[in-house]
Amino acid sequence: MKNILITGVNGQIGSELSEKLGALVGLENIVGMDLRPATPPYQITHETVDVTKKEALRQVIEKYNIDTIFHLASLLSARGEMNPDQTWEVNMTGLKNVLDLSRGKNIKIFWPSSIAVFGPTSPKENTPQNTVVDPNTMYGITKRAGELLCQYYAGKFHVDVRSVRYPGIISYKTEPGGGTTDYAVEIFYEAIRNKIYTCFVGGETCLPMMYMDDAVRSAIEIMQADPEQIKIRSSYNLAAVSFTAEELTAEIKKNIPEFKCNYAPDFRQKIADSWPKTIDDSCARDDWNWQHEFDLAGITKIMLEKLREKLKL
Ligand code: SER
């Protein structure tokens, strides 16, 4: 990891991954790429490039002599349902471009998959690594197809690509955009601002979640692992903590007793219901020593503290 490219750098994960990688290899060795121009504090070199444009992507890779790509550019599950064609284009063409341009070049790739690869008939409890995958969103379909593409490129072209199936990611710096798990972030903003939140999934909805620091660390650790440790080249199940929307509300109430959460499920409920409640991530724990750090209480504490600072409330 000498010259690193992060696609989708303006997004929820990209903005924090760039900081952590900067601390590791030096900010001057990181290039951020996004459809949108750079956002402050402008710490790294930025290229405003669309990942579906292969030639433009090739030029960026060559210009900076890139040897590692964290390919994060993607449309998420809920927004993806508003525009399935664009989701296919960005998620699949983008990934295939990255894989193609890395063939024979010794470029190492991290690409996130998601719990969205699972679907209505996948087991919901302790969902195994290898089981029924029948995604029912375009996002989930692109993630599952992407996993198979990664495995294929690793086997056929020896591309060193590594991947994890992220659960919902909770963070305070950059808001998520268009995911089904976004309620687990929005709830903190509204608890602090208005002491009331209307949640778009029911209170009993239980989904796997992870705090951003754990998510970023998992990406860095899987990339630092020896190649022999990476026995799965599609994507690893990855887990930290699972809780219902009601349990999250109760945890917030310990800190803000007057907080009230109402539940008004919309189209995202069906997506949430098709995903696992809990995940068996023993392969990641065994193969490259994955361990999460933050539980529900820890996540709630840090989110409330940091958002109060950020919102000056
Ligand atoms: N957080 C994502 C979403 O909700 C899941 O990968 O779409």
Q: What is the 3-state secondary structure (H, E, C) of 222-251?
A: HHHCCHHHCCCCCCEECCCEEEEHHHHHHH
Boundaries of CATH 3.90.25.10 in the chain?
Answer: 171-208+241-278+295-311
Q: Ligand 1: which of 74, 114, 142, 242 to mutate, judged by most atoms within 8 Å of the beta carbon?
A: 114
So what CATH class is 4-169+210-237?
A: alpha beta
In the block, residue with structure tokens 């919902």: 168
The CATH code that applies to domain 171-208+241-278+295-311 is: 3.90.25.10
- From the CA of 79, how far away is ligand 1's center (Å)? 10
The tens digit of pLDDT for each residue in 70-95 reads 999 999 999 999 999 999 999 999 99
Q: What is the average pLDDT value for the chain, to the nearest integer?
A: 98
Q: Is the CB of 116 under 6 A from ligand 1?
A: yes
Boundaries of CATH 3.40.50.720 in the chain?
Answer: 4-169+210-237
Task: Answer whether 173's CB lies under 8 Å from 164's CB.
Answer: no
Q: Is the dihedral of CA 247, 268, 217, 229 positive or negative?
A: positive
Q: Is the peptide bond before 227 cis (omega within 30 degrees of 0)?
A: no
The tens digit of pLDDT for each residue in 285-307 reads 999 999 999 999 999 999 999 99
The tens digit of pLDDT for each residue in 163-209 reads 999 999 999 999 998 999 999 999 999 999 999 999 999 999 999 99
| Helix/strand/coil for 10 | coil
Instruction: Say yes or no to pLDDT of 46 above 90.
Output: yes
Q: What is the pLDDT of residue 264?
A: 98
Q: Is the CB of 137 under 6 A from ligand 1?
A: no
- From the CA of 281, how far away is ligand 1's center (Å)? 17
Task: Answer whether 277's CB lies under 8 Å from 125's CB.
Answer: yes
